[in-house]
Structure 1
Amino acid sequence: MVTRAAHRSGSAYLYYPLILLLLFLIAASMVFSVSIGQVHIPLRQSMNIMLHILSADHIGSLDSVTNDSYFNIIYQIRMPRVLFALLIGMGLSLCGAVMQAIVQNPLADPYIIGISSGASLGATVAILIGFGAAAFLSNFGIAFGAFIGAVLTSAAVLLLSSIGGRATSVKLILSGVVVGAFYSSMSNLVIYFANNAEGVQKVAFWSMGSLAPSSWDKVPILASVVLAGCALFLFQHRILNTMLLGDESAVTLGINLSLYRKIYMVLAALITGTMVAYSGTIGFVGLIVPHICRGLFGADHKRLLPATLLLGGLFLIWADILSRILIPNVDLPIGIITSVIGSPLFIYMIVKKGYNFGG
């Protein structure tokens, strides 16, 4: 008891310095990320260009930039990508922490309710079959299909889990598994009958996750959805803490957890669906990052969520860096990198003594 109390006291004392450290590491990692690639750009010039862009020409000077193409490389290609990595890392980590609280399951992640399967079906249909000649659907085909698939999956899970009474954490998990399996089988059926080798390869690459499709025209939508979701859930820490206590404790507190579960599920599905629509399926971020933060700072979501957001963004920035530098002139799918890093970390946390989900 003394040891656990001392650990929590020490964690609380170090919390804000660690938050500041994470903020500094994110800023430094973003500068490093836009500097590397097939064209190497000096760090000092990269920092000046980023400050110049982010401050709308008020901070940072382009006088020191020795190559005119550096500005275009950073602005057009690398900055949207690093912002995608930051936002998607934050969003996946947030949804992972929320889903783990909703279903009271340490193995939950943003895809626990079958969102990835639904998004994959939508993207598969968009790639192999298409949506016709409508202008909107032609411009946003894959993203639109993935988002619609994710939303329909979430609606099906909520409807199924509500049959025969209120939606409990166990019913949500089982419904997600069943619906996800059904959507996966439909995706495989479409792939099996599609006579399109190039399309099948594109589906496979999309399913492994990639930040290559990032662009400035997609950043506003992604940023709006992810940051709005982060702002909302940061003020829901009391309800999320109550979810860890269970339904019986919530009844004594006068809180209708079934209603909150549905609301949070819809919000998490919208956030995850948007991210999957733009980047494909990126695994392990929403699973491992909340566990690391929970082991460092405890299960109180008031401290857990801010740390989870920052660490998730930092984690995916570096996963993206590794995906670009591990093999020269090859852009590996980022989902492979996150799985390779996340699997050993999660195994370590399983065998590590003293870690307990929710406590």
Structure 2
Amino acid sequence: MNDNKSGLIFLGKYRFKFLILVLIFLLIFLSTVSVLIGSISLNPLTIWKIVINKIFSTDIFEKDWKKNIEIIVWNLRMPRVIMGIIVGASLSLVGILMQALTKNTLADPYILGISSGASTGAILVIILGGAGLFSVPIGAFSLGILTSFLVFYNSSRESFSTSKLVLTGIAISSFFSGLTTFLVVSASKENEVKSVLFWMTGSLSGSNWSTVSISFVALIISSVIIYSMHKELDIIMTGDEIAETLGVNVARLRLIIVIVSSLLTSFIVANTGIIGFVGLVIPHIGRGIVGAKHKRLIIFSILMGGIFLLITDCIARTVLKGQEVPIGVITAIIGAPFFMWLIKKSSYSFGGN
């Protein structure tokens, strides 16, 4: 199937804008629903009064709610909701980048090993007793970006090969996964092991405004950089030789993709653990609805990724009474069948060597 003629690719300019407005409305609606979920019942109107007061740092609305309600809404539930949106958007963006770079619809950071390296770095800091806001993210980012450069260096020593890239990524991912398991097994504190194991399967429960702000800045900067290069991403899909002929600096573009992907993936893994399949599922949904042009695909996927994560987080918090299921479990249950469908639908793939 030709990507360029699939789905609703012929959406007009105004229809696309309308679609984006619908997604934004849906995002706001699901955010409200997500904040409502919990042991303490809340009023949707009260939620937005609190949020608006906090955003503008003034009492626009008279406080007719208790102090503990404000704490629950603003300090506990809202950071989780915003982090879910950021994580979904970031993973979707990285999925687009990896698939464009490798010209393979089955590529994402988890296949190329970036997340496994980041996970090992974060867990190493946790087990060694690292403290402070930046220690876990820095540990994750350091090993994440080291992993990405190992993968790309090995796959492009003679000539760049997407097949070698994926195979190298799988090998390095397996190595770091084994190392992570060893670190967890050798950990001495039982509570520490339990928290790490839960973190490894993904959770938004530890979100706070400090981690949200850092991840948000990383997403905004990355999105602006990548969106400004949407034409280059379209051209590189035709092949490296054609792209170079048309004036695209392929080596520079690859480097930017590696750095941006490593940055986003590492911060996500450091703050929420491993949440799989988002970067695989969302870009494909996007191509089926708005087409393969990155100018539209990037905007759609960022919004859709946030919506997808909010939905899966709501499921994770409600599927078992009185117990939260790691969000990575839910995304895997949804994403794994989709992944198998993609493998079976072999004609839906990019070119590559």
The verdict on a shared fold, with TM-score over 0.5 as the criterion, is yes
Closer, same or farther in 2 for the Cα pair 1:307/1:138, shift >3 Å?
A: closer
Where structure 2 has 5 or more consecutive residues not aligned to the other structure, the ranges are none
**In the alignment, structure 1 residue 152 sits paired with structure 2 residue 152:** no
CA–CA distance in structure 1, aligned partners of residues 329 and 345 of structure 2:
25
Q: Which moved further from structure 2: 190-199 or 332-341?
A: 190-199
- Residue identity in the other structure for 1:71: E
Shift of 1:324: 1.4
Partner of 1:316 in structure 2?
A: 309
**In the alignment, structure 1 residue 123 sits paired with structure 2 residue 117:** no
Closer, same or farther in 2 for the Cα pair 1:309/1:58, shift >3 Å?
A: farther
Query: In angstroms, what is the RMSD of aligned CA positions?
Result: 2.6
**In the alignment, structure 1 residue 287 sits paired with structure 2 residue 288:** no
| Alpha carbons 1:90, 1:313 under 8 Å: kept | yes
Secondary structure of the 2:203 match is coil
| Alpha carbons 2:119, 2:180 under 8 Å: kept | yes
- 1:161-209 C-alpha deviation (Å, 9 max, x unpaired): 34234x4433332332222222222223333444443333222111101
Q: 1:356 aligns with which of 344, 348, 352?
A: 348
Q: 1:249 aligns with which of 221, 228, 242?
A: 242
Closer, same or farther in 2 for the Cα pair 1:184/1:81, shift >3 Å?
A: same
Partner of 1:134 in structure 2?
A: none
Equivalent residue pairs, number: 349
Closer, same or farther in 2 for the Cα pair 1:140/1:249, shift >3 Å?
A: closer
Partner of 1:225 in structure 2?
A: 218
How do residues 1-359 of structure 1 correspond to structure 2 at under 5 angstroms? 4=5, 7-10=8-11, 14-57=15-58, 59=60, 61-63=61-63, 65-131=64-130, 137=131, 140-165=134-159, 167-347=160-340, 356-357=348-349
CA–CA distance in structure 2, aligned partners of residues 275 and 206 of structure 1:
11
Shift of 1:138: 5.1
- 1:326-359 C-alpha deviation (Å, 9 max, x unpaired): 2222222111111122234445566679x83459
Secondary structure of the 1:217 match is helix
CA–CA distance in structure 2, aligned partners of residues 215 and 107 of structure 1:
33
Asked which structure has the greater RCO (Cα within 8 Å, sep 6+), the reply is 2
Shift of 1:287: 0.7
| Alpha carbons 2:141, 2:262 under 8 Å: kept | no
Secondary structure of the 2:263 match is helix
Where structure 1 has 5 or more consecutive residues not aligned to the other structure, the ranges are 132-136
- 1:46-72 C-alpha deviation (Å, 9 max, x unpaired): 12212222233375x144x44332111
TM-score under structure 1 length normalisation: 0.88
- Residue identity in the other structure for 2:51: M
- 1:61-103 C-alpha deviation (Å, 9 max, x unpaired): 144x443321111111011111101111111101111111011
TM-score under structure 2 length normalisation: 0.90
CA–CA distance in structure 2, aligned partners of residues 6 and 102 of structure 1:
23
Closer, same or farther in 2 for the Cα pair 1:54/1:277, shift >3 Å?
A: same
- 1:269-304 C-alpha deviation (Å, 9 max, x unpaired): 111111111111011111100100111111110111
- 1:108-166 C-alpha deviation (Å, 9 max, x unpaired): 113232112112211332233335xxxxx45555434323221221232233234234x
Shift of 1:267: 1.4
| Alpha carbons 2:8, 2:288 under 8 Å: kept | no
